[in-house]
Structure 1
């Protein structure tokens, strides 16, 4: 009809079937979505929330992330029980927004909720214990040692007692508890057990940068624990070694007095029938006690060594009695972690520290010798070499071979090459193997200024010695030609066996690796003139005085008027090894 709006055509009412009516009655009069369709929708929403949460966290939009995380927890009743990412984000949010509330209690509550959500899972029992271990590790990192101990002491008594990480964390906790009971004047203020980062499931930062030789636990020089590397991120930021325990003169007197005291006791014991016991104790005290290790780094022995009595012998005996049940249990669990299958490298350094703190020097060296065969790492070789330098300094060949093995395992290790250089400067390591070790090191790293300086020095020493041999050969043969190998103008270390091919390849590679034009320009821009000087000296012996890098450095130094550096380079120019050209004719 005109004036009326045409209405929408109505459809006839459809009578539902019996099954649909029954479904509606069971759902309280509302239409219920089928279970399969409900699960699919929940999974889609969960994935969307997960992607949104990732973006918010990456952009540090923590408040928006908090709202999304709440929606995720409220809507996904089964997903987040296995989604550790959500709980880690929740703990990060609590850390940022807890304000005046107790952060540690909030984290503990989060872990309790997390463990409660695992009750329905088939492997929930095992996962709960893993979370307990993780919570103990959190407490350990925060310095809450007793709280951490309360979580791990039950784990080692159950079926998880053979797990390497359980033994590692429990051993570290016992180590810290025992250390806290030491006399206060011996403790390093704010000391935390050193834990390698691979204990947290991350690759180990194998940069064992120890303190210098004279920074020892006997107090000759104060040291700062901040300089230690490859330690757990919760290491102390406070300085240590503020007070000196022994002066150098007093230390020498201590050794002499202790020997005299031993001699006196041996004389007395011969009247008492104990002559078979005290000589053995004398060897243990004088040769293998930390009280006489004047050069042992605090990286290995984190303690202020202090006499407990005026008598040095009684002082050592009293100190050894400090190794109580906590100490023995810590040694036990760290040993289990180290010798597990596969071995746990993270346990090595704290285990050796603990043995040394208990004055078990011989046991520490034996354990390191085993670890050198069992662990595929440079760390046990470096530790073994360092202990041998302190307690068995006469074993020069063994010590140098340990550092060589460490460099073979990890050519980038600056600590090992630095120790070999120090041995070379004291006459305990020859030039030829040092040159090989330096080249191996420079294959892996750009090289510090001191490394290039020593590398150039080795080249010059070899070339000078070869010139002397050459002149001797000529004079012996009255100027006649000779085929004697010592009369060659190139050292045999560059030609024997496979070394010739190695050095030929190295010469070709290093043109772009160390001596390219772009590298030279960047070093000029950075003002690294000493580095340029020593690298140019090495390039003279590798490629000759007319090499592009050498001429560029000489030109720059001439413009700057650096007479001393030019004089240094001219010494090398007068005696160039010119390795690349000579190898081409071999």
Structure 2
């Protein structure tokens, strides 16, 4: 059945689905999912052509995109679903969820800094302004009058929800949108008068997802159908349940994407989703960029952002912009600690109170579980990020920004005399890059050398 779908032969897949439906007893979760996908394709083929992404329809995602320079067409939309299914089939014995449908290995481009606005809404769809009217699909004026307000009794399908649906990325709402009026009528009819293909697709995908074991790859196409039916609340409730029951990052990604459109003011829930995504997929730079943006808006703490960037760097080498933000977190944290200490006066022998600027290491790096994590991280990163071979490679490539921002971070972790920091500084002097030298100087002057203090503490205990 999957082979038929991959070949674009929905009719043969439909005949196989009918045979499966006539079998006695309960069919397995994979068979239910195949039936659901078959009815999905039959439904998709039945909707007006103006809403279908055809092979000739391509749109560029290069601007503000998670996948730079990538063109998508209808084959891509279909393959995203089937890749997820194939991955699930391959991993079904170990019950590993597949996330191939949501475009992993995301990248962001451009500098990520604290004092610049960041645009992180990715995969913005283009809306071709073409208006085709397939005969018999849209209501004529007389029929329309009989229905009254098309959104007055459609499960809360308000203009705000319609706008949010229209702004969803293609992997969540695989429709080719034309003008707003035809989209509204399409959504109204789909929500109130779904055909049997749609109903059966939802039915079997839901059964597959609820099976034991669950066919987790059924989640994304099911969510797509619910959204196309205007059932946003139902989709969010289902995703909340899946986030609790699944080890996969997919439900969290989808939930976060919907919350950004339909509940964007719920910053606490969004932050929780973004953090959970990074904990399950620390390579996701798109999610990290969103956390940075929320920090810029005052919705995310400095310490939490520092920890999330460190988690990201545990899993990837990252580009210079990430290291720059990381060094800024260190600097602001050191300034905060210094302000706290200098605000506490110390009484001298003459009874006068004096304020001393103290370069105290923040407790996040020394105390409790967090302190243990940073101690291990410091040891690990000596070879992962700050080895001599890494240094030589970065010098040879001529990426002075990467070299500078990494050296700034290294000064906080290992001290200003650390070899990576010293050699990077010497190289900048040789290149006579005054701006980067000033940047590194500022950070070296505020460094606290976390790892050095760990070593001294350990030596003292011995």
What pairs up with 1:137-536 in 2 under 5 angstroms? 137-159=2-24, 162-190=27-55, 191=74, 192-193=77-78, 194-195=80-81, 196=84, 197-202=86-91, 204=98, 208=104, 213-215=120-122, 221-222=124-125, 241=126, 243=128, 284-287=157-160, 289-293=161-165, 295-307=167-179, 309=181, 316-321=187-192, 323-474=194-345, 479=353, 489-536=360-407
1:177 match: secondary structure: helix
Query: Is the 1:540–1:547 contact (alpha carbons within 8 Å) kept by the matching residues of 2?
Result: yes
Alignment equivalent of 1:561, drawn from 413, 432, 444? 432
Please identify, of 300-309 and 395-404, the stretch whose mean Cα deviation from structure 2 is larger.
300-309
Q: Is the 8 A contact 2:36 2:201 kept in 1?
A: yes
Q: How far, CA to CA, are the matches of 1:325 and 1:198 in structure 2?
A: 28
TM-score (norm 1): 0.61
| Aligned residues of 1:542 and 1:579 also touching (Cα < 8 A) | yes
In the aligned structure 1, how far is the partner of 2:279 from the partner of 2:12? 42
- Partner-residue secondary structure (3-state), 2:104: coil
Query: The residue matched to 2:158 in structure 1 has which SS?
Result: helix
Deviations 1:6-39 (A, max 9, x none): xxxxxxxxxxxxxxxxxxxxxxxxxxxxxxxxxx
Structure ID, larger Rg? 1
> What is the match of residue 546 of structure 1?
417
Q: Secondary structure at the match of 1:343?
A: coil
Say how many residue pairs are matched: 395
| Superposed displacement of residue 408, structure 1 | 2.3
Whether the 8 Å contact between 1:338 and 1:348 is mirrored in structure 2 is: yes
Q: Which moved more, 1:366-375 or 1:334-343?
A: 334-343
Give unmatched runs, 5+ long, in structure 2: 56-73, 108-118, 132-147, 458-462
Contact 1:185 1:304 in 2 (8 A): yes
In the aligned structure 1, how far is the partner of 2:197 from the partner of 2:106?
Answer: 28
Alpha-carbon offset, residue 450 of structure 1: 2.9
Post-superposition shift, 1:510?
1.0
Deviation (angstroms), 1:314: 5.8
Q: Which is worse superposed, 431-440 or 322-331?
A: 322-331
| Inter-partner Cα distance in structure 1 for 2:359 and 2:25 | 66
Q: Is the 8 A contact 1:542 1:577 kept in 2?
A: yes
Deviation of residue 580 (structure 1)?
A: 1.9
Report if the CA contact (8 A) 1:215-1:298 is conserved: no
- Distance (whole Å) between structure 2 residues aligned to residue 298 and residue 210 of structure 1: 16
What's the CA shift string for 1:317-340, capped at 9, x where partnerless? 234246321111111111122222
Q: Residues of 2 paired with 1:476 and 1:189: CA distance?
A: 77
* CA RMSD after TM alignment: 3.3
Q: Deviations over 1:35-92 (max 9, x none)?
A: xxxxxxxxxxxxxxxxxxxxxxxxxxxxxxxxxxxxxxxxxxxxxxxxxxxxxxxxxx
Higher relative contact order (CA 8 A, sep 6+): 2
Structure 1 residues 523 and 345, CA gap change in structure 2 (3 angstroms)? farther
In the alignment, the residues of structure 1 paired with residue 434 and residue 330 of structure 2 have an alpha-carbon distance, to the nearest angstrom, of 22
Secondary structure at the aligned position of 1:348 is classed as helix
Q: List alignment gaps of at least 5 residues for structure 1.
A: 1-135, 223-240, 247-267, 270-276
> Does the CA-based 8 Å contact 1:164-1:336 persist in structure 2?
yes
Contact 1:452–1:531 under 8 Å retained in 2? yes
| 1:343/1:374 contact within 8 Å kept | no
Task: Report the CA distance between 1:369 and its aligned residue.
Answer: 0.5
Looking at structure 2, the residues matched to 180 and 210 of structure 1 have their Cα atoms a distance apart, in angstroms, of 31
